[in-house]
Amino acid sequence: MISRFFGKKSAPTEGEKPASSTAADKKQPKRQAAGKGYSSKKPANKAQSGDTAKKNRRRNQSRRGKPKPQHAGWSIDQFKVPEQEGKTRFHDLDLDDRLMHAIHDISFEYCSPIQAGVLPHTLQGHDAIGKAQTGTGKTAAFLITIINDLLNNPVDEERYAGEPRALVIAPTRELVAQIAEDAKQLVKYTDLKVATLIGGMDYQKQLNQLNNALVDIVVATPGRLLDFQSRRDLYLDMVEVMVIDEADRMLDMGFIPQVRRIVRSTPRKENRQTLLFSATFTQDVINLSEQWTYEPVSIEIEPENVATETVEQKIYIVSTEEKYQLLKNIIKLPEASSVIVFANRRDQTRKLYEHLRKAGVKCGILSGEIPQNKRSATLKRFKDNELKVLVATDVAGRGIHVDGVSHVVNFTLPEDPEDYVHRIGRTGRAGASGVSISFACEDDAFLLAPLEDMLGQKLPCEQPPEELLK
């Protein structure tokens, strides 16, 4: 569904600074030395953020349709995708050749529904609100928007350290790391630089990203971003495009006060492009959208279209005592080549991890109690097939984007039905098929009804095969 979501702009609302207040007014000289070829200090006559961003937005409109620079050594003729009725090709979007080369390398041919819905609008500079689960291609949608806009509108004037042109905020470290990895794949034929700012990792190393080169795109968790702002190592008054990903999860995790502070340090909403994505459009999310976006287009992809097409879903009715044996036997199945096991709490994931490791299973754990550097190393080993099983909580699991996951096992049913869709979306990705197996016991079988209501369908419940309980 595509619609105009809100009417004309009214007076500034909470979360938006008045026109006369800008981050540039308060900016002080940076402490760290800048890299070669640019300054680390703000000149006295630099334009204020709102005016500059407004010029950027007008410049974006004026440059649409101008000839794009040739990408040396590669031609769009090398990327042939036939037209198909009802499908949108990336060729149809008039993207920069350097970006198209990267899209060709990762074998994108046709837009997913969320991409086909949102890109024709966001590529023209419009704000957008997208209702979509993970696994729908929304990350590529907002990254393509950002990258194409920055390539089409290079900055001619002098730039300064710690002033990104685009900002992406996401709720979890894993999700931030995945978004940044995807961004780096898409900018590899350009001069654009991507920086990742997440807690639990060395601050100085992350600061070096900002000081050693001009960073164009910053991907960050809210808390870490505020750390950099409070130390005056990062300024957001030159942001042209801002993305808020998984807004509903931001609400659930209590990050909205932090996000409000971040939004207030960017240009006014009329002078920046804002993209907001959420798995649900609750009233709270709608209220935030009204505050942070300007006349957005709304795109909705219903969750049932995501959850059921490529994933075979099974519900096994078991006792609590049978769960461990059943899990071990599922992992031993020949077709279970790569398995993610979800549990609701950290202590449950820890017990599962230790139990499987003692049983000789090559497994890793992702939960909030694990240091970020170890979580990143574990996820890499899982992607490289060094680990067969990954045990995760929902918060940590939001950032798991790994192709080739054959099975997802819900050791405990999620208390929030939306988490079910996120969990099983870890398998059946990129058109591949996958299997989701959920254990329902006397402790959590009552959670099936709201889950079925959310999906709009009955889930088949069955006793597990006898051989899986031995």
Domain boundaries, the chain: 2-300, 305-469
User: Which amino acid is residue 61, in one-letter code?
Assistant: Q
Q: Which residue has the higher pLDDT, 39 or 320?
A: 320
| Mean predicted confidence (pLDDT) in 413-433 | 81
Residue entry with tokens 């909030």: 368
| CATH number of this structure's domain 2-300 | 3.40.50.300
| Mean predicted confidence (pLDDT) in 185-199 | 96
| CATH number of this structure's domain 305-469 | 3.40.50.300
Residue entry with tokens 């590669």: 74
In this predicted structure, which of 36-40, 128-132, 265-269, 277-281 has the lowest mean pLDDT?
36-40
Q: How many residues does the chain have?
A: 470
Which of 66, 128, 108, 77 minimizes the C-alpha distance to 301?
128
Which of 250, 209, 251 minimizes the C-alpha distance to 228?
209
| Mean predicted confidence (pLDDT) in 369-381 | 85
* Number of neighbouring beta carbons within 10 Å of residue 256: 17
Residue entry with tokens 């070669």: 36
Q: Which residue has the higher pLDDT, 44 or 152?
A: 152
pLDDT number for residue 22: 39
pLDDT number for residue 379: 87
Classify 373 as helix, strand or coil. helix
d(CA 212, CA 231): 17
Q: Which residue has the higher pLDDT, 26 or 372?
A: 372
In this predicted structure, which of 5-19, 344-358, 387-401, 420-434 has the lowest mean pLDDT?
5-19
The CA-CA-CA angle for residues 234, 236, 242, to 5°, reads 125
Q: What is the pTM of this model?
A: 0.68
| Mean predicted confidence (pLDDT) in 192-196 | 97
Burial of 230 (0-12, 13-18, 19+ CB in 10 A): exposed
Kindly list the distances between the CA atom of residue 364 and the CA atoms of 15, 113, 173, 353, in Å, as whole numbers in the listed order: 40, 33, 17, 7
pLDDT number for residue 15: 42
Q: Which residue has the higher pLDDT, 145 or 402?
A: 145
- List for the chain the helix, strand, coil content (%; round to 5): 40, 15, 45
Dihedral of CA atoms 372, 374, 375, 379 in degrees, nearest 10, equals: 140
The strand pair at 339-342 and 363-366 is best described as unpaired
Residue entry with tokens 């957001």: 236
Which of 101, 104, 97 minimizes the C-alpha distance to 81?
104
What tokens does 66 get?
């101008």
Same fold, 2-300 and 305-469: yes
Whether residue 222 contacts residue 169, with contact meaning beta carbons closer than 8 Å, is answered with: yes
pLDDT number for residue 249: 83
| Residues 6+ positions from 135 with CB-CB distance below 8 Å | 306, 425, 426, 428, 429
The strand pair at 297-300 and 2-4 is best described as antiparallel
d(CA 372, CA 203): 12
Q: Which residue has the higher pLDDT, 386 or 249?
A: 386
**Is the pLDDT confidence value at 59 over 60?**
no
Biggest CA-to-CA distance, the chain: 77
User: Residue 10 — pLDDT band, cuts 50, 70, 90?
Assistant: very low
| Mean predicted confidence (pLDDT) in 128-140 | 84
In this predicted structure, which of 85-94, 196-205, 340-349, 417-426 has the lowest mean pLDDT?
417-426
